[in-house]
């Protein structure tokens, strides 16, 4: 029994591996989901931008508050210093007063005025009285002076504390400025993300609108249940990740001096999937004389114009594709490779507004005509995939 279960599991896992994942055509709902996905991304990016901008405003307000605090502290320090000056003045006065007390009680000239005054008492009562008067007055002045000195000390300490606080506030302002810079950087990134997402949103929204006009319902498989003519409603990048290594045009690299396609490589190499650049019908799955694996797809655009796209050097085909198969930009046709005449793993993508190998197409019925036509179109300003779709020198999404 256990053996049987293991065998079943092996069979099941074999199926999981080899069962086609993407045989069924894309439904309109999948496009609607994409629209919603990118709409959410745009919304989230905008919400993040708003949140970040609020943080920036808060940080700016905190800086303004800190600046006000620094100003208040400076004023406080000024008044503390004024108090110190006043106290010093008062101390001077008190010491003057003390001197005056002595002068007041000075009964004769000489150095021992104080003692002479005290001992000049004519009775014990008078002596005690005189001693206490002088003591009280001098003690009082000493007390006042002591209090004033304490006040000065306190004010000096306060000034020290306030200076420390000022430094802290200045540090805080610096930190806030750094934070604002960081947040502003985040806003820029978020805005870039929002732009990318809204570009994608626009592409998918156009698709949804187009297929709805074609009478497609969300559950309809595009090209199967509706829009059976499988019109190319938009042009897409042939890989999720890609980098351009050569554009269409005159070159010294090729033997005949012209490069007929766009060369794309990926850091994922042979595991990079190749997708049709638009909806269409597979017209050939073939090899060239050098052994390069090739897929050719016919397209008809919304204006009824006929196109061919050609994907060369594939390492493997999607085993589920077949000639005559209706494909969408989401049906992968194979993997990037270096089969045939190729220096390194890449996709060589050719595209032109004619039907390659179609006997009724006078421009492109043969390979020779096709290459001549691509050159002719190049001289008219057509640059292949670069003309049809947004193709930067490097990308990481379709």
Binding site for Zn ion (CB under 5 A): 261, 263, 348
Q: How many residues does the chain have?
A: 398
When the beta carbons of 348 and 355 are compared against Zn ion, the nearer one is: 348
Q: How far is the CB of 264 from Zn ion (least distance, A)?
A: 9
Residue pair 57/362 in contact by the 8 Å Cβ criterion: no
Phi, psi of 227 (to 5 degrees): 45, 50
Closest by alpha carbon to 210, among 230, 196, 236?
230
Residue 318 Cβ vs Zn ion, minimum distance, rounded to whole Å: 21
Shortest Å distance, C-beta 261 to Zn ion: 5
The C-alpha atoms of residue 337 and residue 347 are separated, in whole angstroms, by 7
**CA distances (Å), 139 to each of 35, 86, 94, in order?**
91, 21, 11
The Cβ-side half-sphere exposure at 157, using a 13 Å CA radius, reads: 6
Query: What are the C-alpha distances in Å from 127 to residues 122, 136, 137, 189, 367?
Result: 7, 14, 16, 92, 137
Residue 238 is given by DSSP the state S
Find the shortest distance in angstroms from Cβ 385 to Zn ion.
12
Considering beta carbons, is residue 242 or 261 the nearer one to Zn ion? 261
Structure tokens at 100: 């005056």
**Is the CB of residue 323 less than 8 Å from the CB of residue 329?**
no
Measured from the CB of residue 382, what is the shortest distance to Zn ion in angstroms?
Answer: 17
Nearer to Zn ion, 261 or 276 (CB): 261
- 346: CB partners within 8 A, 6+ apart: 245, 263, 264, 265, 313, 336, 338
Query: Beta strand pairing status for 258-259 and 280-287?
Result: unpaired
Question: Residue 301 or 350: which CB sits closer to Zn ion?
Answer: 350
Kindly state the smallest distance separating residue 312's Cβ from Zn ion, in Å.
7
In this complex, which beta carbon is closest to Zn ion, that of residue 234 or of residue 261? 261
CB neighbour list of residue 30: distance below 8 Å, 6 or more residues apart: 330
Tell the smallest beta-carbon distance from residue 313 to Zn ion (Å).
8
Closest separation between CB of residue 283 and Zn ion, Å?
20
Residue number with the shortest CB distance to Zn ion?
348
CB-nearer residue toward Zn ion: 117 or 265: 265
């Amino acid at each position: 029994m256990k053996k049987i279960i293991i065998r079943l599991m092996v069979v099941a896992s074999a199926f999981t591996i080899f069962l086609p994942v993407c045989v069924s055509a894309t439904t309109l709902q999948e496009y609607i989901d994409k629209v919603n996905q990118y709409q959410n991304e745009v919304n989230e990016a905008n919400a993040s931008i708003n949140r970040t901008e609020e943080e920036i405003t808060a940080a700016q307000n905190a800086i303004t508050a800190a600046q006000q605090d620094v100003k208040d502290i400076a004023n406080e320090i000024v008044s503390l210093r004024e108090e110190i000056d006043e106290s010093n003045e008062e101390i001077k006065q008190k010491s003057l007063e003390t001197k005056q007390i002595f002068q007041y009680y000075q009964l004769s000239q000489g150095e021992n005025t104080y003692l002479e005054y005290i001992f000049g008492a004519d009775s014990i009562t008078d002596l005690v009285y005189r001693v206490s008067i002088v003591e009280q007055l001098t003690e009082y002045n000493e007390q006042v002076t002591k209090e004033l000195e304490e006040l000065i000390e306190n004010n000096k300490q306060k000034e020290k504390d306030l200076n420390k606080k000022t430094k802290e506030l200045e540090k805080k302002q610096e930190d806030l400025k750094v934070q604002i810079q960081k947040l502003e950087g985040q806003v820029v990134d978020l805005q870039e993300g929002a732009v990318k997402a809204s570009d994608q949103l626009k592409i998918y929204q156009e698709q949804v609108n187009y297929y709805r006009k074609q009478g497609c319902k969300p559950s309809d498989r595009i090209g199967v249940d509706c829009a059976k003519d499988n019109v190319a409603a938009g042009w897409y990048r042939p890989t999720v990740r890609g980098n351009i290594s050569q554009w269409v045009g005159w070159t010294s690299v090729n033997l005949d001096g012209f490069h007929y396609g766009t060369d794309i490589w990926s850091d994922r190499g042979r595991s990079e999937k190749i997708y049709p650049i638009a909806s269409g019908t597979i017209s050939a799955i073939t090899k060239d004389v050098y052994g390069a694996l090739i897929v050719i797809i016919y397209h008809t655009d919304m204006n009824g114009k006929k196109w061919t796209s050609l994907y060369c050097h594939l390492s493997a085909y999607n085993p589920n594709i077949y000639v005559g198969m209706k494909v969408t930009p989401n049906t992968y046709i194979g993997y990037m490779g270096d089969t045939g005449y190729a220096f390194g793993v890449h996709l060589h993508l050719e595209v032109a507004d004619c039907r390659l190998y179609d006997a009724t197409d006078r421009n492109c019925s043969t390979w020779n005509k096709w290459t001549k036509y691509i050159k002719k179109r190049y001289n008219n300003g057509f640059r292949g995939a670069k003309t049809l779709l947004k193709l930067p020198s490097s990308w990481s999404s379709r």
